[in-house]
Amino acid sequence: MMELQAVRDYLTALQSRICTTLEQQEPEARFGEDVWTRPQGGGGVTRILSGGNLFEKAGVGFSHVQGDQLPPTAAANRPELAGRRWQAMGVSLVIHPRNPYVPTSHANIRLFAAEKPGSDPVWWFGGGFDLTPYYGFNDDARHWHQTARDLCQPFGETVYPRYKQWCDEYFYLPHRQEPRGIGGLFFDDLNDWEFETCFAFLQAVGNGYLDAYMPIVERRRHLEYGARERQWQAVRRGRYVEFNLVYDRGTLFGLQSGGRTESILMSLPPSVEWHYDFQPEPGSPEHHLLTDTLRRREWV
C-alpha cells in the first residue's frame, strides 16, 4: 500500500534539515523561501541561498505536483500510463560553492505515482547524488563513493555497483565525450522491492547526501585560490549548464509538464564562461582533472 503522505513528510523534513546544515556554515547568508503553486495542480517550496561566503549559490527545492496528462518524457516508454492521473514529489538540490577547490554537488530523490480507477496504481522511486569537482582530490572521491557504497550495502551487494555505473553513464556529455563529474549514485524506475523497502532506500540516499558532502566541504573550504582558479571553475560550470539544459531528464520533465521555470532552473550556477577551444596547460592541476580525475574508475 502506498503511503504517499509519509513520503511527503520525509521530503519536507529533509529539505529543512539540509538548509539548516548549510546555513550553519555561513556567518550571515540565509535561505530565502518561495512558496509557489502550479495552475495544473500542486506546488512546492523553493529555497535559495545567494552570495554566501562559502556557498555562492545553493538551491534546495521541494515539489509535489499533479496532472491528468503525462508529459512526453514520462509517457514515451510507458504506454500503459496513458489516461492515468499522475503525481510526482521530490527534493532536488544543487550547491555551487564559491571556492573552486570545493566541488559542486547535486542530489535528487523523488516518487512518481499514476492511478486509474479499476487498475492497480503504478509507482516508482528515483534519485541519487553526484559530485562535480573542479580540482581533483582522490581522497574526496574515495570518501564520496565509500559513503554511497555503505548506504547501499543493507539493500544488497549488487545495488552500489549497479547504481554507480548508472550514474557514470547518465552524467556524461556525449558531445564533449567527458563525464560531468566523478559520479555517485543514480537510480530510476525503482519498484523492484515492496513499497516500504523502496522508500527505506530513498531515505538512505537522502540521509547519506550530507554524510558524503559536508566532510569534503570542511576539508577544502579554507584552501586559497585566485583569478586562475575562478576562471577554471567558470569554464567547468559551463559544462554543468550544457548537461542540465540538453540531457537532464528532470529538467526536461519539469519544462514539458508545465513546471515552474524558476524552480526548475535553480540548479544553474550564478556565473559561467565559455571560451572557444579552451585547453588547460599540460601538467597543470586543471589538466589533471580532465586526464586523471574525470575517468570512470572504481573508487572503492
Annotated domain spans of the chain: 4-292
User: Does residue 77 have a known ligand-binding role?
Assistant: no
Is 108 annotated in some ligand binding site? yes
Q: Is 260 annotated as a binding residue?
A: yes
pLDDT, position 2:
63
Catalytic residue among 106, 275, 287, 288: 106
Model confidence at 150, in pLDDT bands (50, 70, 90)?
very high
Q: Which of 273, 280, 275, 253 is nearest to 264 (CA)?
A: 253
Query: Which residues partner with 127 through β-bridges?
Result: 109, 187
Enter the C-alpha cell of residue 222.
579554507
- Enumerate residues 6+ apart whose C-beta is below 8 A from 66: 40, 41, 42, 85, 86, 87, 88
CATH class entry, domain 4-292: alpha beta
Tell me: pLDDT of 1 over 60: no
pTM of the model as a whole: 0.93
Cβ atoms of residues 166 and 126 within 8 Å: no
Look at residue 77 and tell me whether its pLDDT is greater than 90. Answer: no
Indicate the pLDDT class of residue 71, thresholds 50, 70 and 90: low
* Per-residue pLDDT reduced to its tens digit, 239-290: 999 999 999 988 887 788 777 888 889 999 999 999 999 999 999 999 999 9
Q: What percent of the chain has pLDDT above 90?
A: 80
Q: Is 110 annotated as a binding residue?
A: yes
> Residues 6 or more apart from 30 whose CB is under 8 A from it?
23, 49
The answer to whether 143 is a known catalytic residue is no
The pLDDT confidence band at residue 291, using thresholds 50, 70 and 90, is: very high
Secondary structure letter of residue 289 according to DSSP: I
Give the mean pLDDT of 181-205. Answer: 96
Inter-helix orientation angle 4-23/195-220, to 10°: 10
Longest pairwise C-alpha distance within the chain: 64
Q: How far apart are CA 286 and CA 110, in angstroms?
A: 34
pLDDT at 46 over 90: yes
Task: Tell me whether residue 138 is annotated as binding.
Answer: no
Q: What pLDDT score does 171 carry?
A: 96
Q: How far is CA 6 from the centre of its chain?
A: 22
Residue 83 predicted with pLDDT over 60: yes
